[in-house]
Amino acid sequence: MLTVNLTYIPGKDFEALGIVKGNIVRAESVRKDIFSTMSRLSKGEIPGYTEMLHEARQTATKRMVSEAENINADAIINVKYETAGVADGVVEVLAYGTAVRFR
């Protein structure tokens, strides 16, 4: 499945099928959270959270693609990601875009 953050696909004519989305709410483990707190105190990168967000984006993307496949889309255009903190160490990641079918 082709996914792009453009509002068009060069050289392709298509019809819009509608918005598709995928989301996940993820929490960091307690052990990683302790190390993350220590990293915050030293103002460095927080590798546990970076990894968690990367995995959450991948899962959200897979769910969005699955929703597009269910309506026989050929691609998803204008793909965006939203991330929101739900609680300390808990985030929601939402992937969304417009499913299209090539003509």
In three-state form (DSSP H/G/I as H, E/B as E, the rest C), the secondary structure along the chain is CEECCCCCCCCCCEEEEEEEEEEEEEECCHHHHHHHHHHHHCCCCCHHHHHHHHHHHHHHHHHHHHHHHHCCCCEEEEEEEEEEEEECCEEEEEEEEEEEEEC
CATH number, domain with residue 55: 3.30.110.70
- Mind listing the pLDDT tens digit of every residue in the chain (103 residues)? 999 999 999 999 999 999 999 999 988 764 555 555 555 566 677 777 788 889 999 999 999 999 999 999 999 999 999 999 888 778 899 999 999 999 9
* Domain housing 31: 2-102
**The pTM is what?**
0.84
How many domains does one find in the chain?
A: 1
Q: In the Cβ-directed half-sphere of 97, how many Cα atoms lie within 13 Å? A: 29
